[in-house]
């Protein structure tokens, strides 16, 4: 086994690898960009090396910089994690030339499976069934369009060199094919430096099932059973589970055997994942990921194995310590991907500072009931340059029903404040009756979207009461009901005034503007106060405050929530979800409206990658006027109405902030009104 390991990655996967390496007595070296100077993986590693600017192409994707860091620290091995250079054959070869052990498969295996087209051709020769499609080398746009018509719409355009949903587009109508092809190519080139694509028939309601395989350099190759990754949106996995629910034993055996055959066909060594699409009683090969997957923890939970440890041991020349018949499924596991994203605004990625994080605490059986894999702590920043993942919430129990109950409880007992996240969405998804009933496929979220994403509700009285308590407790030291020096006059700030009850007024607005929310406060000499909000009077008392955790009584109900303030912003999260209010502090003037200032504004920080319109051009409602790239995804800005482009404020390649106006437009109605 080597003594020092460099991790050519960041975030939660880097922290995950560091944890296992430390258990094995291996010293670790982290790398970081300008955007990651204070990141958690830098803080927990034994050493850390700066590798360049925030842009991944100039830091995490720079083979030269990574190798220079390894040589400077005298690391003996490099673990690529997943993403970035993890499936780059040139990087694997460069590590070997530099005398470093690459913790991954041989370059030939990466090349064979790195191209979706070549991998499918290999599987076709091996007799593994494929989805109907075009996997050829000729990438002429007109040819691809003809192939799509031959296959029949809807079709799926997929980046030949990548995964993770990047460079992937579903095309329902022939008229959209050219535009979607161009978009897929742009995204593929940025993510993988390769804009080749393949075109396949889009199956309407398939399941996405993948098999974990592991091989050593002595010819041993096994599978560690399957994972169901069907709950997706934009082809990105949201909740994964192992084993796949409702899968007959004969299908489980067939999938495992096919996955092992695929790995053997390319002389595979290390951890890999063979992905299949499953519909009815038939499965089709999709691709092989020649690396560790984001969702590998659910496999670890049901097998009791540490896959990173297995990777390191195999890379160090050891044989697999187990045979196929020695591995069995024990219980059921789920993983939920917690992201900084605004679900109600189309899952737009969010960036900024995490003010507070709370994770649940379960009684554990050998540490297996709950696991949080994260690369951030409270106070850290989610950057616009990288994936906006906050954490993976992983649970295990003896069966699927029990494990799903644990997942729901874990999500409800977690808190993310300071950034909008998908935490409440994940909790609603985990509680969907159809999900519990195993009625799942890759269209699940789309089919249930109306139930999963309801329009933002009006501010309720409880949320307003919590916000008021938080503001008042910051302004004065509110007495709580804990018996700590109850006789001390210095701990009381209850608004007492001689000969009368004290009154005050607290004013909020919703984060998206709207009317004022006025709360009238009357203080009680006995502690607590009466709030008049939304025309109703409530008796409220702060019971305890422990950091961000508040416990209050409101009209004889005892409730708990997490609350933090950041300037005028008040972030509140209880078991029912989260909210952000704007406090109108009378000492600092009124809070400005947080709206975006127009329809054609940047919905998030990002880079302008396309402006397919010109000044004075007439446009139709729904027409694309700009394309923004943020956090590895493209986001389209469309015209809200028929009209004319008046001004374009940014150029392709410009970095823009959230809310800035990209394009000025005069609608047809405005033009007629002016005449």
Block residue for tokens 């880097």: 14
Quick check: bond before 243 cis, omega within 30?
yes
Show which residues are catalytic: 291
The tokens of 153 are what? 């719409």
Report how far residue 510's alpha carbon sits from residue 514's, in angstroms, rounded to the nearest whole number.
6
Of 618, 277, 560, the C-alpha closest to 415 is 560
Beta strands in 398-484 (DSSP E): 415-417
Is-contact 538 461, C-beta < 8 A? Answer: yes
Is-contact 615 648, C-beta < 8 A? Answer: yes
Report how far residue 565's alpha carbon sits from residue 568's, in angstroms, rounded to the nearest whole number.
7
Cα-Cα-Cα-Cα dihedral of 364, 365, 370, 374, to 10°?
A: 100
Query: 3-class secondary structure for 221-263?
Result: EEEEEEEEEEEEECCEEEEEEECCCCCCHHHHHHHHHHHHHHH
Query: What is residue 585's DSSP assignment?
Result: -
Block residue for tokens 């390319």: 266
Other residues' Cβ atoms within 10 Å of the Cβ of residue 511: 17
Is-contact 577 417, C-beta < 8 A? Answer: no
Name residue 339's beta-bridge partners.
Answer: 389
Contacts of 262 (CB under 8 A, 6+ apart): 123, 126, 128, 213, 274, 285, 288
Residue 516: burial class (beta carbons within 10 Å; 0-12, 13-18, 19+): exposed
Write 132-136 long-range contacts (CB < 8 A, 24+): 132/200, 132/201, 133/198, 133/199, 133/200, 133/201, 134/198, 134/199, 134/200, 135/198
Report how far residue 621's alpha carbon sits from residue 617's, in angstroms, rounded to the nearest whole number.
13
Query: What is residue 500's DSSP assignment?
Result: B
Report how far residue 650's alpha carbon sits from residue 489's, in angstroms, rounded to the nearest whole number.
60
Report how far residue 376's alpha carbon sits from residue 42's, in angstroms, rounded to the nearest whole number.
11
The tokens of 241 are what? 């589970």
Which stretches within 543-583 are classed as H helix? Answer: none
Quick check: bond before 154 cis, omega within 30?
yes
Strands 370-374 and 348-349: unpaired
Is-contact 178 302, C-beta < 8 A? Answer: no
Is-contact 263 274, C-beta < 8 A? Answer: yes
Distances (CA, A) of 514 to 326, 342, 508, 590: 62, 19, 10, 13
Q: What angle do CA 581, 585, 590 make, to 5 degrees?
A: 85
Residue 198: burial class (beta carbons within 10 Å; 0-12, 13-18, 19+): buried
Tell me the helix, strand and coil percentages in the chain, rounded to 5. 30, 35, 40
Ramachandran category for residue 176: left, alpha or beta (phi over 0 → left; psi -120 to 50 → alpha) = alpha
The alpha carbons of the chain give a radius of gyration, in whole angstroms, of 27
């Amino acid at each position: 086994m080597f003594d020092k390991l460099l991790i050519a990655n960041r975030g939660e996967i880097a922290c995950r690898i560091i944890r296992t390496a430390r258990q094995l007595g291996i010293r670790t070296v982290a790398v970081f960009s300008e955007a990651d100077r204070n990141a958690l993986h830098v803080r927990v590693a034994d050493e850390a090396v700066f590798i360049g600017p925030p842009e991944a192409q100039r830091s995490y994707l720079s083979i030269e910089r990574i190798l220079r860091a390894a040589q400077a620290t005298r690391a003996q091995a490099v673990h690529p994690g997943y993403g970035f250079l993890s499936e780059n054959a040139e990087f694997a070869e460069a590590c070997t030339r530099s005398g470093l052990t690459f913790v991954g498969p041989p370059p030939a295996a990466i090349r064979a499976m790195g191209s979706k087209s070549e991998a499918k051709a290999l599987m076709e020769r091996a007799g593994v069934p494929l989805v109907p499609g075009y996997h050829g080398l000729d990438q002429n746009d007109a040819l691809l369009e003809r192939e799509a018509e031959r296959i029949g719409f809807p079709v799926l355009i997929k980046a030949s060199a990548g995964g993770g949903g990047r460079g992937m587009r579903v095309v329902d109508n022939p008229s959209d094919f050219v535009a979607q092809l161009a978009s897929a190519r742009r995204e593929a080139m940025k993510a993988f430096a390769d804009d080749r694509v393949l075109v396949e028939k889009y199956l309407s309601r398939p399941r996405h099932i993948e098999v974990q395989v592991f091989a050593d350099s002595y010819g041993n190759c096994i599978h560690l059973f399957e994972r169901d990754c069907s709950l997706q949106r934009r082809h990105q996995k949201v909740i994964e589970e192992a084993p796949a629910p409702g899968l007959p034993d004969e299908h489980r055996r067939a999938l495992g055997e096919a996955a092992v055959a695929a790995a053997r066909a390319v002389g595979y060594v290390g951890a890999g994942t063979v992905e299949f699409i499953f519909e009815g009683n038939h499965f089709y090969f999709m691709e092989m990921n020649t690396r560790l997957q984001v969702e590998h923890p659910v496999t670890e939970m049901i097998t009791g194995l540490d896959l990173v440890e297995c990777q390191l041991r195999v890379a160090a020349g050891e044989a697999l310590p187990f045979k196929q018949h020695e591995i069995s499924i024990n219980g059921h596991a789920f993983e939920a991907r917690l992201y900084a994203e605004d679900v109600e605004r189309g899952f737009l990625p969010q960036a900024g500072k995490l003010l507070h994080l709370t994770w649940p605490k379960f009684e554990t059986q050998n540490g297996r009931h709950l696991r949080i894999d994260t690369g951030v702590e409270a106070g850290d920043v989610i950057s616009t340059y990288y994936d906006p993942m906050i954490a993976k919430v992983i649970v295990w129990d003896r069966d699927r029903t029990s494990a799903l109950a644990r997942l729901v409880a874990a999500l409800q007992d977690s808190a993310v404040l300071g950034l909008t996240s998908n935490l409440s969405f994940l909790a609603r998804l985990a509680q969907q009756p159809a999900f519990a009933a195993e009625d799942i496929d890759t269209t699940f979220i789309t089919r249930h979207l109306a139930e999963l994403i309801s329009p933002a509700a009006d501010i309720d009285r409880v949320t307003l009461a919590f916000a008021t308590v938080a503001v008042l407790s910051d302004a004065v030291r509110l007495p709580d009901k804990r018996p700590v020096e109850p006789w001390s006059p210095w701990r009381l700030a209850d608004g007492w005034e001689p000969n009368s009850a004290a009154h005050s007024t607290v004013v909020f607005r919703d984060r998206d503007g709207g009317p004022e929310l006025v709360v009238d406060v009357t203080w009680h000499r006995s502690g607590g106060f009466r709030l008049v909000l939304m025309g109703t009077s409530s008796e409220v008392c702060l019971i305890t405050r422990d950091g961000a955790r508040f416990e209050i009584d409101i009209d004889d109900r005892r409730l708990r929530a997490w609350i933090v303030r950041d300037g005028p912003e008040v972030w509140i999260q209880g078991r029912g979800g989260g909210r952000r209010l704007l406090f109108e502090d009378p000492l600092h003037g009124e809070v400005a409206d947080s709206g975006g200032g127009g329809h054609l504004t940047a919905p998030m920080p990002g880079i302008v990658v396309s402006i397919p319109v010109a000044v004075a051009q007439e446009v139709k409602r729904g027409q694309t006027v700009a394309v923004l790239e943020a956090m590895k995804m493209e986001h389209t800005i469309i015209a809200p109405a028929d009209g004319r482009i008046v001004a374009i404020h940014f150029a392709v390649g410009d970095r823009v902030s959230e809310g800035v106006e990209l394009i000025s437009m005069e609608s047809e109605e405005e033009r007629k009104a002016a005449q």
